[in-house]
Amino acid sequence: MTKLEVINLTVEVDGKRILNNVNLTVESGEVVAIMGPNGSGKTTLFLTIAGHPRYRVVGGDIRLDGESIINLYPEERVQRGVLLAMQNPTPVPEVRLSTLITAMMNKKLGRHITDPPTPQVLTELTKLTAELGLKPEHLSRGVHAGFSGGESKRAEVLQLLMFKPKVALLDEPDSGLDVDGIAVIGRSIARLAKEGAAVLLTTHHAEILHYVRPTRVIVMHRGSVVHNGGEEVVRTIESMGYERFFREVLGIS
Ligand SMILES: Nc1ncnc2c1ncn2[C@@H]1O[C@H](COP(=O)(O)OP(=O)(O)OP(=O)(O)O)[C@@H](O)[C@H]1O
Ligand SMILES: [Mg+2]
């Protein structure tokens, strides 16, 4: 069992307060969907959990299985099983996607980072690449180098599915995906949770949630969690829009 706890988390970027007293918990097998308007703090929350050095925790804690991780380097958090699929991944043209995934898997398996992939890793990589609608050619290209928006999303999820993290953070895994892509990625995320990962994902659309079936939906507003409930809130937000939802349902302006 894995449990990630975000406790009264307050975060600053370059001296500017972005998150205020955020609380949430996600356990093995659960999918928690985080919604909220542009700029409400979703990506900041994920980058802080992943350990991005620019995001300074000025209050509260992040605990993995009861142990604080806020003083760990990003690499150490990955080693503990916390992995982020980014909203806007940065291209690394000089490193092939297959090299990156092999290195990640070698590190996880306690092998030397530059060792060739194990036969199991190679088989799994070939299978998942095809399943996610990517071509073998993408594996031999630089990471996200010249990838289309949807291909980049698929490549981020490929890394996650290969690594099988304890805690999977997916920041808008559905943005820029075509309808088939949303179904494939949605089903893959559901499988990840079924296999025991604790999954946090952000989205602006209900569609991916048809496949993922979140355990809870959390809504953020100006760096705070303002609602924590079931899937029904997604339909309310879709029909009302955020401004009306905040004003008329939650009574905040
Ligand atoms: N490095 C930074 N410097 C200044 N402001 C920042 C920085 N990073 C984030 N912010 C601000 O923090 C707020 C939250 O940003 P964040 O990216 O977390 O929002 P989001 O909920 O992910 O939005 P979106 O739905 O558009 O992805 C925004 O107002 C953003 O401009
Ligand atoms: Mg974001």
Going by CA atoms, what residue is nearest to atom 24 of ligand 1? Answer: 38
The CA distance from 46 to 165, in Å, is: 15
Report how far ligand 1's centroid is from the alpha carbon of 36 (Å): 12
Residues whose beta carbon lies within 6 Å of some atom of ligand 1: 13-14, 16, 18, 36, 38-44, 54, 87
Do 134 and 145 touch, CB atoms closer than 8 A?
no
Question: Beta strand 67-68 with 55-64: parallel, antiparallel or unpaired?
Answer: antiparallel
Do 30 and 36 touch, CB atoms closer than 8 A?
no
In the chain, the number of structural domains is 1
Identify the CATH number of the domain in which residue 60 sits.
3.40.50.300
Report how far ligand 1's centroid is from the alpha carbon of 43 (Å): 7
Query: 3-state DSSP helix/strand/coil percent for the chain, to nearest 5?
Result: 40, 30, 30
The phi-psi region of residue 157 (left if phi > 0; otherwise alpha if psi is between -120 and 50; otherwise beta) is alpha
Report how far ligand 2's centroid is from the alpha carbon of 224 (Å): 14
The whole-number pLDDT of residue 110 equals 94
The residue to mutate among 6, 10, 13, having the most atoms of ligand 1 within 8 angstroms of its beta carbon, is 13
Q: What's at 60, amino acid-wise?
A: G
pTM: 0.96
The CA distance from 14 to 54, in Å, is: 7
Going by CA atoms, what residue is nearest to atom 16 of ligand 1? Answer: 41
Q: What's at 80, amino acid-wise?
A: R
Q: What are phi and psi of 41, to 5 degrees?
A: 115, 10
Q: Among 86, 42, 60, 31, which residue's Cα sits nearest to residue 231?
A: 31
| pLDDT by residue, tens only, the chain of 253 residues | 999 999 999 999 999 999 999 999 999 999 999 999 999 999 999 999 999 999 999 999 999 999 999 999 999 999 999 999 999 999 999 999 999 999 999 999 999 999 999 999 999 999 999 999 999 999 999 999 999 999 999 999 999 999 999 999 999 999 999 999 999 999 999 999 999 999 999 999 999 999 999 999 999 999 999 999 999 999 999 999 999 999 999 999 7
CA distances for 106 relative to 76, 109, 138, 155, angstroms: 15, 5, 20, 18
CB atoms within 10 A of CB 23: 14
The CA distance from 62 to 191, in Å, is: 25
* Structural domain containing residue 22: 3-249
The CA distance from 11 to 120, in Å, is: 40
| Ligand 1 atom having least distance to the Cα of 40 | 21
